[in-house]
Every structure is written in structure tokens, then in C-alpha cells.
Structure 1
């Protein structure tokens, strides 16, 4: 069977289901720590596509969204074939950056890991920070939770 290891399962809250692959695991048989970062960034890329921003977006306003800050906290180890639902919500909205707050849950509701991905808006050619464009703020608003 050719089953995808991740896909979007909900748009509000935005949720990506990720299944741990055998190749994601270390010799102890659990997901290697570095894969959690990949899981988070991949969910963020799905979110960007959902709101119409980020790499390859066909937006009138050209703005880059590189990562300024990332943080992860692990709560359980993840063996192969474990599915986690990674929910993303918009946290703090600042002048030039914002937070995407992630919570990854196992099917039984247990929190597997949580994290924050904080992109900063930049002008792509000069690589200088710029204020968050109004259109991007509007796209983020349905996913915003109280700060």
C-alpha cells in the first residue's frame, strides 16, 4: 500500500496528521529528535499553502517568511507507525513576526510534543525585515488565538 506519511485533516484548527516512518527512527526504535523539527516545519509549510503564503505562493505581495525562532518540547517517544495530529494556531502577532503554536496529539488525546515556529517577514531581494503585510494578517486572523 502506498500511504502518505502526512496530510491535512482539518482546516480549523489547522491540523496535519503525520505517521512516524521506520526511517525516522534511531536504533532505539523511536523517532530521532531531529525529525520532530522536520514534522513541525512540514506542518508549517502545509499551513502556508492553506493560507496562500510562503514558498511558491502566488501572492501580489512578495514577502519571505524565514524562521526567526523555533522551540520544541517533547512529552513522549514516538515509535514507527505512530500517528500524531499536529495542530497549528497563530499566537502572538507582532510588527514583523508572529508565532505559530503547535500541539501534537496521539490518537488517545495524549500530548506528544509542542512547539513554536516564529517566522519573520522579509523583503526577499534585500533580505531585510518588513512589517507583516495587511493581507497576511487577514489570512492569519481566522487561526489566531488570544495572546
Structure 2
């Protein structure tokens, strides 16, 4: 029987549950550092789908591309096969052309595992140059925006 390794646990706040697979780990049984990026991108993808209302890719729904401008990680805990983490996602900042999606991962008991930021930038689809965030996208982002530090003091 197959079981999901990543799924939306809740929408308010938006939380993705992830189960560590054996294949995510090195021979010592510890998750490879590079897999944390996969965990972040999976959570950001599900969050972005939610922001788009299931209508397609978030940027495309609003007429722009949204490639990654930057990513940052703080590694706090180690993971092993079958460990479970809950990744809470929210919009932390909205600027002229880019925005930040903050993702904080914790074990179900609340123990922090990582704190990461994914920062897309809006680009025109015809020339792939930076462009202001469309008003419709700005409104979708604002609905999930939080003041910096509000939900992640312990992380």
C-alpha cells in the first residue's frame, strides 16, 4: 500500500506534512542536506497552488512568471527515515517585484527542524525581465501575509 509522503495538513494556517523517506537519507540514516530544498520547494508549491485557488500556476494565473530570486535556510534539527515534519508557510514580505514565502518546519511535538525563506520575483512572460507584482497577485499574497517574526519566535 502506498502512503503519501507530502500533503496539506491544514489551510489556516497553511501547513504541509512531510514524512521522510528512506531514500532521502545517507548511509548513516540522516537526511541529505539537499533534500531539505526538496521539502521547501514541495511546501512552497502546495502553498502557491492554494494561493492560486487551484486555477493553475500562481504566477501564470496573474500573468507573470515567478522564478526564484533567492532562498535561505537555517538548519536546526536532524531528520531520519519515517520522521514527520509539519511545514507552516506564510507570506512574510511583499515588495515591488518580489515577495518572501517563509516556511518553518517542526516535528509534531513542536521541536523546530528548519526555518527557510523562498523569494520569487515577478517577470514578464514575453521578455523575462522584472516587472511589478500585479494587483491581483498582490491581493492574493496579502491574504496570507504575516508580520515578520510573528509565528516563528521559537524557530
TM-score (norm 1): 0.93
- Give the corresponding residue for 1:116: 117
- Give the corresponding residue for 1:62: 63
CA distance in 1, matches of 2:22, 2:61: 41
CA-CA distance at 1:65 after TM superposition: 0.7
8 A contact 1:12–1:143 mirrored in 2: no
- Give the corresponding residue for 2:42: 42
Count of aligned residue pairs for this structure pair: 147
Unaligned residue ranges in structure 1 (runs of 5+): none
Cα deviations across residues 87-129 of structure 1 (Å, max 9, x unaligned)?
1111111000010011001011000111000000011221101
TM-score (norm 2): 0.89
8 A contact 2:76–2:114 mirrored in 1: yes
CA distance in 2, matches of 1:36, 1:120: 21
8 A contact 1:22–1:81 mirrored in 2: yes
Moved over 4 A (4+): none
Q: 1:125 to 1:86 in 2, by over 3 A?
A: same
8 A contact 2:52–2:61 mirrored in 1: no
CA-CA distance at 1:76 after TM superposition: 1.0
8 A contact 2:68–2:121 mirrored in 1: yes
Unaligned residue ranges in structure 2 (runs of 5+): 149-155
Please report the RMSD computed on the Cα atoms of aligned residues, expressed in angstroms. Answer: 1.9
